[in-house]
């Protein structure tokens, strides 16, 4: 799993991204919709076109949830409990989609952070997002 150093790094990166949460989140969502068009079906009630207010506000919510989880990664199961229930029982999002968004997010981070997204940061972030996706998928049966 993640070392203490990696956890600190992840926390620091998400803290830095909080002011641009809507921008990063919207970028990741657009990448997911473009690469995996099936994911768009969950958002048919929203306007998910580039720069739309729905896209930006939903992107912001996602990034803030990921940033909140990064505050204390050892408590991910506790922090994410409400989101687990929401996705599994109300939204009924196929849990395979979580990996698709995680991957899209990784690409968005690489584009946004450029050279700052070092191989060490990239590897740590990949592990964190995988752990996040796994926790979100836990309530499914």
What stretches of 1-141 show up as alpha helix (H) in DSSP? 4-17, 21-35, 53-71, 76-79, 81-85, 96-113, 119-136
Where is 71: in which H helix or E strand? helix 53-71
- Count of alpha carbons within 13 angstroms of residue 1, beta-carbon side: 8
Closest residue to ligand ZNH using C-beta atoms = 97
Binding mask 4-43 for ligand ZNH (x = CB under 6 A): -----------------------------------x--xx
Q: Give, as ranges, the residues between 72 and 111 that touch ligand ZNH (CB under 6 A).
A: 83, 86-87, 91, 93, 97-98, 101-102
Question: What is the token pair recorded at 87?
Answer: 């996705």
Choose which of 66, 73, 125, 131 interacts with ligand ZNH (CB under 6 A).
66
Residues that bind ligand ZNH (CB under 6 A): 39, 42-43, 58, 61-62, 65-66, 83, 86-87, 91, 93, 97-98, 101-102, 132-133, 136
């Amino acid at each position: 799993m993640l070392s203490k150093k990696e956890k600190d790094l992840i926390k620091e990166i998400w803290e830095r991204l909080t002011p641009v949460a809507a921008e990063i989140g919207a970028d990741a969502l657009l990448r997911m919709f473009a690469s995996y068009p099936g994911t768009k079906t969950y958002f048919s009630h929203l306007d998910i076109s580039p720069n739309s207010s729905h896209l930006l506000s939903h992107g912001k919510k996602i990034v803030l949830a990921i940033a909140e989880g990064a505050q204390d990664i050892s408590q991910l199961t506790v922090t994410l409990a409400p989101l687990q229930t929401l996705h599994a029982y109300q939204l009924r999002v196929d849990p395979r989609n979580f990996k698709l968004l995680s991957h899209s997010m990784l690409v968005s981070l690489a584009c946004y952070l450029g050279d700052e997204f070092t191989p060490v940061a990239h590897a740590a972030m990949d592990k964190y997002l995988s752990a996040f996706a796994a926790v979100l998928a836990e309530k499914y049966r």
